[in-house]
């Protein structure tokens, strides 16, 4: 074969029951058809996880993936993936984060972990050595303590993924935390690690990542670099990170308040929740591997209740949404204290905040009382109550034992019509309110394979005439032949139809390893395809790239269908969305009509080429080269 | 030895672009390899603060400065 590049070239298969690791080559067919990262992880998960395997049993498999772009100076190429079967939904579970790139330098594109150790262990991966080591000395420690202990033991050059007490206690919304802050938060992956008695994975490597066509790659890299750095607002993206959208999102009504009963009054909130106050506690920029923006933040609280607290936070907007809006408003210091607790204990702060907001509403409605809460009075915006519940969830104590099951099961356990107030799809709390705005992401919460949408899109905020067409031209998707049916309506997009194209594009990015952050969404697919070709030595057109994204997405859908998911699971609207209006400022937005949503689901399935019942026809499998494979 | 030095270590975000660039542009094979870089980014204690140091065998090509967008080197 011609010179290859991009990929490390191997998969490590580590069986914790057998106590063994095997290194196998990463096949060319997998690279060509699924690209890497999330795509190959999806395919491996489909092959290796037997239908009906219990998510917290040794039969579940954790697939870690790092795409070919990661570790190569391509700006924003730090994004990595973990795929498994989620204990929240019992369907496919997926989470992406910027912190696993070191796996490539150890010589692996993927790590597959099966079985269960008979005592607490951690994996130490250094080049060809994959050791299963004792972890009883760090079991019971939070993620910061455990990571520090491993850094002392192994050296700080190791990248460490770790679970906290929540994962150890099999809390269904437990996360995996990288280097103390970078979270693979969604889908309960931390509980899966805990169920395998796997406390941490520590990786270091001395291997190199090659480039197939060096001269051409260097030229394209220089061009990408120049165009990238010429974008406006890059400095602001760094300084404020995801908070740059705070005011625009707030004015659009995109911060659900008090469990989606209202939307946050942003003008009131900005009086204390403003960017100047945030900058008082921000003391540095933190970046994922290879990123020139550094949208994450190093925070130091030098005064107030938590003086002395230092932490890093990935998405400050998510922190503010979860701890400054779902549960009522709180000062920045309380928001970041909640983030600290979730990072240490290893909890997804979106779903944790959802559960707490739901519990507060139930208490306010007298559907649960002090006998359920152990005497605690649940009220909005009460920092001590919120922090108490975060800890109770991590340790499964009192009401925390029920909340630790996730929104779907917790509402089934409480009964009393509490499920009517659980704002979730496929067990995961909603992030966007489709009553406020029907965007690609608010719609895709219904049809997405894991509930919560995979990424924000340009349709999140209102679009003026011509913008979506220009976007499609610049990005190279949706392709020209479908634009007349996809780019329709008052803002020139159909949320259901364009949702399919965004999902496929997200899959491309998550498979190559590129960040979804806005500045990286401004390059044409043809450019990424060229870069892929010269980096890896595998020729790829933009059409083939997008097809690979569709293929990976379809495998995830097939995984769910094999677990008996159907159109029914895509149609389960939170009751709040169909029964209650919601105010954005003074304007009231109507509840959703189920028949309208049903039409959108029809459109989404049509755009995907699926049957009206949500199953995948043979012709589509054949078109994607998946016939006989799924 | 390089004319540039570490001028604002506290700005380091841990992105490792300097180390990626150093290893790639200074290797005959043109490979990205963090362990071969002549600029070392080492984690300090606590939360994501870093020590930045140029190794003795740094060739002085200054490519690390070209790829650092955080103003650490100058």
State whether A468 and A400 are in the same domain.
no
Residue A53: what pLDDT?
98
- Out of A189, A204, A219, a domain closes at A204
What global pTM score does this model have? 0.97
State whether A93 and A187 are in the same domain.
yes
Domain holding A67, by residue range, is 10-204
Rounded to whole angstroms, how far apart are CA atoms A535 and A530?
8
The sign of the CA dihedral A490, A491, A496, A497 is: positive
Residue A213 belongs to some domain of the structure:
no
Of residues B14, B29, B42, nearest to A287 (C-beta): B14
Residue B1 belongs to some domain of the structure:
no
Residue A428 belongs to some domain of the structure:
no
- Out of A188, A204, A220, a domain closes at A204
State whether A328 and A357 are in the same domain.
yes
| CATH number of A408's domain | 1.10.569.10
pLDDT digits (tens, 9 = 90+) for A172-190: 999 999 999 999 999 999 9
pLDDT digits (tens, 9 = 90+) for A591-606: 999 999 999 999 999 9
Rounded to whole angstroms, how far apart are CA atoms A76 and A444?
25
Of residues A151, A205, A286, nearest to B48 (C-beta): A286
Asked whether residue A192 carries a pLDDT value surpassing 60, the answer given is yes
State whether A446 and A593 are in the same domain.
yes
Residue A143 belongs to some domain of the structure:
yes
Tell me whether residues A208 and B33 touch, CB distance under 8 A: yes
Asked whether residue A2 carries a pLDDT value surpassing 80, the answer given is no
Residue B32 belongs to some domain of the structure:
yes
Q: What mean pLDDT, rounded, does chain B reach?
A: 92
C-alpha to C-alpha distances, A36 to A10, A106, A421, A527, A610, nearest whole angstrom: 11, 16, 39, 18, 25
Query: Strands, DSSP E only, in A291-372?
Result: 296-300, 310-313
| CATH number of A142's domain | 3.60.9.10
State whether A460 and A390 are in the same domain.
no
State whether A199 and A249 are in the same domain.
no
State whether A503 and A564 are in the same domain.
yes
Of residues B27, B29, B48, nearest to A312 (C-beta): B48
Q: Which phi and psi (to 5°) does residue A582 adopt?
A: -140, 145
Rounded to whole angstroms, how far apart are CA atoms A209 and A10?
12
Tell me whether residues B47 and A73 touch, CB distance under 8 A: no
Calculate what percentage of chain A has a pLDDT beyond 90.
Answer: 93
Tell me whether residues B17 and A72 touch, CB distance under 8 A: no
A229 and B CB contact within 8 Å: yes
CB of A381 within 8 A of CB of A262?
A: no
Which residue from A527, A537, A553, A544 is spatially nearest to A68, judged by alpha carbons? A537
Give the gap in angstroms from C-alpha B41 to the nearest C-alpha of chain A.
Answer: 9
CB of B70 within 8 A of CB of B24?
A: no
Q: What mean pLDDT, rounded, does chain A reach?
A: 96
Tell me whether residues B15 and A289 touch, CB distance under 8 A: yes
pLDDT digits (tens, 9 = 90+) for A562-596: 999 999 999 999 999 999 999 999 999 999 999 99
Residue B72 belongs to some domain of the structure:
no
Total count of domains within chain B: 1
Residue A44: what pLDDT?
98
Of residues A284, A289, A312, nearest to B16 (C-beta): A289
Residue A527: what pLDDT?
95
CB of A135 within 8 A of CB of A39?
A: no
State whether A198 and A269 are in the same domain.
no
Which of A99, A144, A208 to probe the B interface (max B CBs under 10 A)? A208
| CATH number of A540's domain | 1.10.599.10
Residue B74 belongs to some domain of the structure:
no
CB of A495 within 8 A of CB of A459?
A: yes
A165-177 as b/e, with b when 16 or more CB fall inside 10 Å?
A: bbbbbbbbbbbbb
Residue A295: what pLDDT?
95
Tokens, residue A244: 């740059």
Mean pLDDT, rounded, for A371-387: 97
Q: Which phi and psi (to 5°) does residue A65 adopt?
A: -140, 140
Mean pLDDT, rounded, for A35-44: 98
Name the DSSP letter for residue A308.
T
Asked whether residue A506 carries a pLDDT value surpassing 90, the answer given is yes
State whether A418 and A444 are in the same domain.
no
Q: Which phi and psi (to 5°) does residue A445 adopt?
A: -60, -30
Of residues B15, B24, B48, nearest to A292 (C-beta): B15
Q: Provide the 3-class DSSP secondary structure of residue A458.
A: helix
Give the gap in angstroms from C-alpha A295 to the nearest C-alpha of chain B.
Answer: 10
Q: Which phi and psi (to 5°) does residue A174 adopt?
A: -70, 145
Residue A455: what pLDDT?
76
A306 and B CB contact within 8 Å: no
Tell me whether residues A209 and B33 touch, CB distance under 8 A: yes
Residue A225 belongs to some domain of the structure:
no
Residue B20 belongs to some domain of the structure:
yes
Mean pLDDT, rounded, for A469-493: 95
Confidence of residue A29 (pLDDT cuts 50, 70, 90): very high
CB of A177 within 8 A of CB of A339?
A: no
Give the range with max mean pLDDT: A312-316, A326-330, A529-533.
Answer: A529-533
Asked whether residue A1 carries a pLDDT value surpassing 70, the answer given is no
ipTM entry = 0.97
Which residue from A515, A517, A521, A500 is spatially nearest to A449, judged by alpha carbons? A500
Q: What residues have CB less than 8 Å from B37, skipping those under 6 apart?
A: B18, B19, B20, B22, B23
Rounded to whole angstroms, how far apart are CA atoms A257 and A261?
6
Total count of domains within chain A: 3
Residue B46: what pLDDT?
78
Q: Cα angle vertex A174, ends A301, A521, to 5°?
A: 75
CB of A540 within 8 A of CB of A528?
A: no
pLDDT digits (tens, 9 = 90+) for B6-37: 999 999 999 999 999 999 999 999 999 999 99
The DSSP line for A29-58 is HHHHHH-SHHHHHHHHHHHHS-TT--TTST
Residue B3 belongs to some domain of the structure:
no
Rounded to whole angstroms, how far apart are CA atoms A438 and A449?
19
State whether A401 and A488 are in the same domain.
no
Residue A533 belongs to some domain of the structure:
yes
Sheet (strand A176-178) strand order: A129-134, A121-126, A198-204, A159-162, A176-178, A182-184
Residue B31 belongs to some domain of the structure:
yes
Tokens, residue B63: 């490519």
State whether A392 and A250 are in the same domain.
yes
State whether A458 and A417 are in the same domain.
no
Q: What residues have CB less than 8 Å from A470, skipping those under 6 apart?
A: none
Q: Quickly count: other Cβ atoms within 10 Å of residue A432's Cβ.
A: 21
Residue B45 belongs to some domain of the structure:
yes
Rounded to whole angstroms, how far apart are CA atoms A5 and A213?
8
Domain holding B15, by residue range, is 9-67
Residue A454: what pLDDT?
65
Residue A369: what pLDDT?
97
């Amino acid at each position: 074969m011609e010179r290859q590049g991009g990929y490390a070239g191997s998969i490590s298969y580590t069986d914790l029951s057998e106590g063994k690791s095997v290194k196998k080559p990463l096949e060319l067919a997998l690279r060509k058809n699924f690209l890497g990262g999330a795509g190959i992880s999806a395919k491996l998960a489909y092959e290796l996880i037997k239908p009906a395997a219990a998510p917290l049993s040794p039969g579940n498999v954790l697939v870690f993936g790092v795409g070919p772009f990661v570790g190569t100076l391509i700006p924003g190429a730090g994004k990595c993936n973990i795929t498994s079967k989620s204990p929240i939904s019992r369907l496919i579970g997926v989470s992406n984060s910027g912190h696993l790139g070191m796996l490539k330098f150890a010589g692996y594109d993927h790590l597959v972990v099966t079985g269960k150790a008979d005592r607490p262990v951690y994996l130490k991966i250094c080049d060809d050595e994959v050791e299963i080591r004792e972890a009883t000395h760090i079991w019971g420690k939070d993620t910061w303590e455990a990571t520090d202990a491993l850094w002392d033991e192994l050296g700080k050059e190791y990248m460490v993924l770790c679970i906290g007490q929540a994962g150890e206690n099999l809390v269904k919304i437990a996360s995996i935390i990288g280097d103390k802050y970078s979270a693979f938060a969604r889908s309960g992956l931390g509980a899966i690690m805990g169920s395998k008695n796997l406390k941490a994975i520590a990786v270091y490597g001395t291997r190199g990542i090659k480039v197939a066509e060096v001269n051409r790659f260097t030229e394209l890299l220089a061009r990408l670099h120049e165009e990238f750095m010429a974008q406006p607002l890059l400095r602001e993206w760094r300084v404020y990170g995801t908070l740059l959208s705070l005011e625009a999102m707030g004015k659009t009504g995109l911060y659900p308040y008090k469990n989606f009963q209202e939307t946050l009054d942003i003008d009131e909130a900005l009086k204390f929740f403003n960017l100047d106050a945030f900058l008082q506690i921000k003391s540095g920029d933190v970046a994922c591997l290879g990123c020139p923006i550094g949208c994450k933040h190093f925070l130091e609280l030098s005064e107030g209740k938590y003086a002395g607290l230092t932490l890093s936070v990935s998405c400050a907007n998510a922190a503010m949404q979860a701890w400054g809006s779902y549960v009522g408003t709180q000062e920045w210091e309380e928001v970041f204290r909640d983030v600290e607790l979730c990072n240490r204990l290893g909890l997804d702060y979106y779903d944790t905040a959802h559960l707490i907001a739901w519990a507060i509403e139930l208490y306010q409605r007298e559907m649960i009382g002090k006998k359920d809460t152990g005497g605690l009075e649940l009220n909005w915006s009460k920092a001590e109550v919120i922090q108490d519940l975060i800890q109770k969830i991590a340790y499964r104590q009192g009401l925390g034992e029920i909340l630790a099951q996730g929104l779907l099961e917790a509402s089934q356990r409480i009964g009393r019509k509490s499920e009517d107030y659980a704002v979730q799809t496929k067990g995961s709390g909603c992030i966007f309110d489709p009553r406020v705005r029907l965007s690609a992401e608010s719609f895709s919460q219904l049809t997405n394979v894991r509930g919560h949408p995979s990424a924000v899109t340009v349709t999140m905020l209102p679009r003026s005439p011509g913008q979506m067409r220009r976007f499609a031209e610049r990005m190279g998707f949706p392709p020209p032949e479908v634009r007349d049916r996809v780019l329709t309506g008052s803002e020139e997009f159909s949320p259901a139809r364009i949702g399919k194209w965004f999902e496929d594009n997200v899959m491309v990015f998550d498979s190559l390893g590129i960040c979804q952050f806005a500045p990286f969404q401004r390059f044409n697919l043809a450019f990424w395809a060229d870069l892929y070709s010269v980096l890896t030595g595998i020729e790829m057109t933009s059409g083939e790239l997008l097809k690979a994204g569709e293929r990976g997405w379809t495998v995830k859908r097939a995984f769910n269908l094999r677990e008996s998911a159907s159109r029914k699971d895509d149609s389960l609207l939170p009751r709040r969305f169909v029964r209650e209006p919601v105010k954005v400022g003074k304007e009231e937005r109507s509840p959703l009509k189920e028949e309208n949503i049903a039409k959108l689901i029809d459109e989404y399935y049509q755009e995907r080429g699926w049957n009206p019942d949500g199953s995948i026809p043979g012709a589509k499998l054949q078109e994607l080269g998946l016939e006989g494979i799924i | 030895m390089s004319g540039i030095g570490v001028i604002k270590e506290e700005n380091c975000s841990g992105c490792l672009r300097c180390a990626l660039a150093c290893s790639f542009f200074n290797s005959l094979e043109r490979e990205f390899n963090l362990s071969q870089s002549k600029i070392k980014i080492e984690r300090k204690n606590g939360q994501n603060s870093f020590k930045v140091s140029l190794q003795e065998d740094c060739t002085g090509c200054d490519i690390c400065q070209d790829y650092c967008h955080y103003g650490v080197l100058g």
